[in-house]
Structure 1
Amino acid sequence: MTGSPRRPATVLVAALLALTAVACGQDGNQTSVTLSPTPGGSEAPEPQAPSSAPVEEAPGADRDQGRDQGGDRRGDRGGDRGEGPPRVVETVARGLAAPWGVAFFPNGDALVTERDTARVLRVTGERRVVQEVGTLDAAAPEGEGGLLGVALAPGYPEDRAVYFYLTTAEDNRVVRAQLEGGVLGTPEVLLEGIPKGFVHDGGRLAFGPDGYLYVSTGETGEESLARDRGSLAGKILRITTDGRPAPGNPGGGLVWSLGHRNVQGLAFDDQDRLWASEFGDDTADELNLVERGGDYGWPDVEGTGDRASREAGLLDPERTWPTAVASPAGLAWADGSLWMAALRGERLWQVPVDDEGTTGRPVPLLEGRYGRLRTVAAAPDGSLWVTTSNRDGRGDPAPEDDRILRVEP
């Protein structure tokens, strides 16, 4: 996924890419902000103080009036669709630094990870108080890696277990920590040795209806790893709550599916089907319906394959997009549709799905209104929380960025 546009302010990023000669992908995420030490000893962007006061959004309201004149997201470009839902109804939090993962407690509170600071935040109550509950010191943010996905155990709150995906100095890994008394305990490593890269680190976590943890990994820019059955890169993994291969995995190993470039979103629909959003390269971003043991073809196929690839057993995506309007990240299921956040595309895609798993025409929402959208998560109250990613080195931050937006589907 090369060829993503840079803002003029990110000249340093372009220079870094030229020096490293690494294919960055549509996401990019190279950080050009000033770095300062964090309490955990790693270096990350200095975050603005998060705001905890909610702001109600009138239908059709423009939340970007504070942008400089001439910005590409000023004015009403159809973002909140004044005719009604889906619409942004609240700004849950602001002043965050590249929020990446969102996981909900049964009461509607949420845990949020920040990729580049390695902080774990809790957003609490109707007043949306934002509090830090811990920092994962083992995270070594660089490029697209850092503190990424988060998921609560199916047995929460009884076992108080929270799962994280993070990039360290050596690898990507899955860890588990207890959350007691508002403080995150010492992480326990469950799965290590997942290949890491400056780009394409995957990072989504999602517990399935079967109680097992599904883990997306990227191929780290080494394309051949995606279909290499001996590598954990470019895969969707399926593991137990203790990090072992889940029963029923193909061949008895960790891998559930392969041939992925960089899966950034995982979601189960109301028929217990697993869907994944995936970065393409230069041609087609993908929405895939994930099958046990399925081979999705990267790097031999990008987007929809031909007769030969299908005869070879490679699976086609259910939907594709030109990379300019997608660069798909987080994925959620709500109200009969999949909802897919787009980074480069700067919009939220709604994809209706019927009972048979057939997708309807995708509908673009919030186009250009809030910049890069990283994560979309379904809240217990039926709303969607959508995070912006304008402070990840690729965006054009507004004064309030990064934000979490609440959307009524």
Structure 2
Amino acid sequence: MSAALAVTALLLTAGCSSDSGGSPGDGTNASSGGSGTATGSAPSRQATAQTPPAKGTVKVLRTVTEGLKSPWGLAPLPDGNLLVSSRDDGTITRIAEATGKKTELGKVSGVSAAGEGGLLGIALSPAYASDHMIYAYFTTASDNRIARMLYDAKKPAGEQLGAPDTIFRGIPKGYIHNGGRIAFGPDGMLYAGTGESGQRGLAQDKKSLGGKVLRLTPEGEPAPGNPFPDSPVYTYGHRNVQGLAWDPEQRLFASEFGQDTWDELNAIKPGDDYGWPNAEGKGDNPKYHNPITQWHTDDASPSGIAYAEGSIWMAGLKGQRLWRIPLDGTKTSAAPQAFLTGEYGRLRTVVSAGGNKLWLMTNNTDGRGTPKSGDDRILEIQVS
């Protein structure tokens, strides 16, 4: 696949937006708050896209597979098949794209699943064709970290996943707000969305890894050109980032869970402060980078995002809908449009399937009595 593709805390308030459906854990709309071709990688570089129409469409083509358990991360393989991480079980499973057959590759050792923590985002190495490495963001007993593992398809099912080689550690963990999305950008660097683990002050502390977008080399070092010397921090002042995607002009976007009022979609600019906990949603303080657009937390609780057809497509957990946000550069060109509202329950991850198609994955089986519990699936959808 081409590279040019945090019990330690309680919910802070009853209305806190998280990524579960209304109770502590994988986020209520405790808006905790990514994706592209390996859970958020960039599309190929192409000519500047024209402003898309104000209205778009979504057509569900088929159900690829169902019966998934606590699915979180989704990464397409070069052969068209899909990898899925299970937050609670700590496993990675291969899904046959044509038949939906599930084959467990193995379990990621060291995963400690509780609340919103566990095995979260996954991505393929930019050099996957030669190194066969899968990257994973996961919660341990002490922190959140990123590791890479060899995928050896020649071994028996259940034993195809190598031992994790930790490349980055020390991201604050909590019962809530663990972030978790990772994606390789068009620059070949590894980006990670983190949460402030329920400790609000971490988001504004540039020495903390919590409440940030991080930018790393594939070996886990601070990436060259980062805005703060010798630091992996790319942007700060975030509450809980779980969506990352690039447009064809290599501009990075991120979704973020708000608390009581506003969930956000942001255009990411290196070194900028996105306001939390001093600001939530749009404001008039020039110190803070305002979101492109915002939603009431009941309508979104955004997790994964992807780019396709001139728009960002954003999966909503508590909102149980897929949002289309048409773009004119780093601004909206028309009002966001909602699709599939309530039809499939909580939507966790959306990933480019190439062209005008997306993979969309639900996340209902989190043990919280949310609608359609037990039927988590991957859908193939066509969008315009």
Task: Choose 371-380 or 207-216, whichever is displaced more.
Answer: 371-380
Relative to the length of structure 2, the TM-score reads 0.84
Task: Count matched residues.
Answer: 339
Q: Indicate conservation of the 8 Å contact 1:218/1:233, yes or no.
A: yes
**1:262 aligns to 2:236 (yes or no):** no
Q: Indicate conservation of the 8 Å contact 1:303/1:316, yes or no.
A: yes
Alpha carbon RMSD of aligned pairs, Å? 2.2
Unpaired stretches in structure 2, ≥5 consecutive residues: 1-6, 26-55, 155-159
Which has the higher Rg, Structure 1 or Structure 2? 1
Structure 1 residue 21: deviation in Å? 6.3
Q: Tell me the residue number matched to 1:405.
A: 379
Q: Distance in 1 between matches of 2:195 and 2:373?
A: 32
Q: Indicate conservation of the 8 Å contact 1:285/1:321, yes or no.
A: yes
Structure 1 residue 242: deviation in Å? 0.3
Secondary structure, counterpart of 2:298 in structure 1:
helix
Task: Choose 23-32 or 398-407, whichever is displaced more.
Answer: 23-32
Q: Tell me the residue number matched to 1:335.
A: 309
Q: Tell me the residue number matched to 2:258.
A: 280
**1:226 aligns to 2:198 (yes or no):** no
Secondary structure, counterpart of 2:202 in structure 1:
helix
- Where does 1:137-156 land on structure 2 (aligned, <5 Å)? 137-156=109-128
Q: Indicate conservation of the 8 Å contact 2:142/2:173, yes or no.
A: yes
Structure 1 residue 355: deviation in Å? 4.3
Q: Tell me the residue number matched to 2:75.
A: 103
Structure 1 residue 126: deviation in Å? 1.2
Q: Tell me the residue number matched to 1:247.
A: 224
Structure 1 residue 338: deviation in Å? 0.6
Q: Tell me the residue number matched to 2:84.
A: 112
Q: Tell me the residue number matched to 2:182.
A: 205
Counterpart residue type for residue 200 of structure 1: H
Q: Tell me the residue number matched to 2:63.
A: 91
Of 345, 358, 373 in structure 2, the residue corresponding to residue 384 of structure 1 is 358
Structure 1 residue 394: deviation in Å? 3.6
Check 1:20–1:322 CA distance in 2 against 1; reply closer, same or farther (3 A cut).
closer
Unpaired stretches in structure 1, ≥5 consecutive residues: 1-15, 33-83
Q: Tell me the residue number matched to 1:64.
A: none
Q: Distance in 2 between matches of 1:122 and 1:382?
A: 23
Q: Tell me the residue number matched to 2:166.
A: 189
Identity score, percent: 49
Q: Distance in 1 between matches of 2:162 and 2:268?
A: 34
Check 1:328–1:359 CA distance in 2 against 1; reply closer, same or farther (3 A cut).
farther
Q: Tell me the residue number matched to 2:273.
A: 295
**1:179 aligns to 2:148 (yes or no):** no
Q: What CA deviation, in whole Å up to 9, does each residue of 1:275-305 have, x standing for no partner?
A: 0000001010000000000100000000001
Relative to the length of structure 1, the TM-score reads 0.79
Q: Distance in 2 between matches of 1:143 and 1:296?
A: 25
Q: What CA deviation, in whole Å up to 9, does each residue of 1:156-204 have, x standing for no partner?
A: 1111111000000000000001111251111100001110000000000
Q: Tell me the residue number matched to 2:133.
A: 161
Q: Indicate conservation of the 8 Å contact 2:303/2:314, yes or no.
A: yes
